[in-house]
Amino acid sequence: MRGILKSLAKIGLVELEEGDRPPAKPIARPPAMSADTDRAVNAILQDDFARSDEEPFQPPASVGSSSTVVAPVASGSAYPTGSETPPAATLPTDKPEWATVALTMGRSFDQIYALARVPASPFPAEKLLRVLDGLKALDPNTRRAAVVAMDAADDDWTVVDSVLDAERKIEALERADASLFAERNQFEADARAALQAQDTYRERATAAIREEIAKLEQTLAGELEQVATARSTIEQRLQLANDAQARERARFVHEVARLREIILAFGAQATQEH
């Protein structure tokens, strides 16, 4: 009986008891990563994610052991390490403001004369001008003779009063004109200084903003590099997970095939007995 069992065991139809079983040959299993490969992959992943907010990745164990493939855990950042947002551009604090006194314009002649303290005249120059305007149809000599006659007929005023009044008012107007010219010169000087200050500020602000742009570009390059590294590591982990799942499935399929041999050999008999 024992010889028959051994013969059946050789062709794989029965399985012997522990005492009767010859030294078993190892069951062929699907290829698995070696222990060295496991350690190497683990070292790579732990090094890549040492500064990450995620839990350290545990690579799949070799086929034949219980293992769980850990999927990447999303963090609050789009990249593993991240970085602080660079500060906004620091512009120069001494931004120029242009403020100057407006030109003194629109004053009446009476206001100008009052500011110049021109005294009142018995026969103001403006009154004599109105007389001359009334005599403008006459020739100059006749007009002059008419004014002299009026002077001689009235003791309250003389032509000299009008001449003196005219001289004083001319002096007041010329001083006002000189003052306005000086104001205009000061206005121009202030404007040119303000333009120069604006040019200086523009140059300094441009340099500051360009410096910040360079920093932002450098930060962007670093962030893109971090994203590329993270993507590469995630893709590697995904590949490891896929490989682990394929090996585990192959192990399951292999075991299912072994178990089906029993059903194929004895399934009909088991059905009859039940």
Helices then strands (H, E): number in the chain?
A: 6, 0
Q: What is the per-residue pLDDT across 112-143, written as a single tens digit (0 to 9) for each?
A: 999 999 999 999 999 999 999 998 888 989 98
pLDDT given for residue 18 in this prediction: 55
Q: What is the per-residue pLDDT across 27-61, written as a single tens digit (0 to 9) for each?
A: 444 444 445 545 554 554 455 445 444 444 444 44
Please give the residue that has the higher pLDDT: either 126 or 16. Answer: 126
User: Using CA atoms, how far apart are residues 243 and 252, in angstroms rounded to an integer?
Assistant: 14
* Residue 190 neighbours by CB distance under 10 Å: 14
Which residue matches tokens 């992943």? 45
Q: What is the per-residue pLDDT across 142-174, written as a single tens digit (0 to 9) for each?
A: 989 999 998 898 888 899 999 999 999 999 999
Q: What is the chain's mean pLDDT, rounded? A: 77
pLDDT given for residue 81 in this prediction: 46
Q: What is the per-residue pLDDT across 194-239, written as a single tens digit (0 to 9) for each?
A: 999 999 999 999 999 999 999 999 999 999 999 999 999 999 999 9
End-to-end CA distance of the chain: 27
User: Using CA atoms, how far apart are residues 173 and 111, in angstroms rounded to an integer?
Assistant: 11
User: Using CA atoms, how far apart are residues 245 and 74, in angstroms rounded to an integer?
Assistant: 22
DSSP state of 137: T
pTM over 0.75: no
Per the CB < 8 A criterion, the answer to whether 214 and 123 are in contact is: no
Comparing C-alpha atoms, which of 249, 257, 256 is closest to residue 69? 249
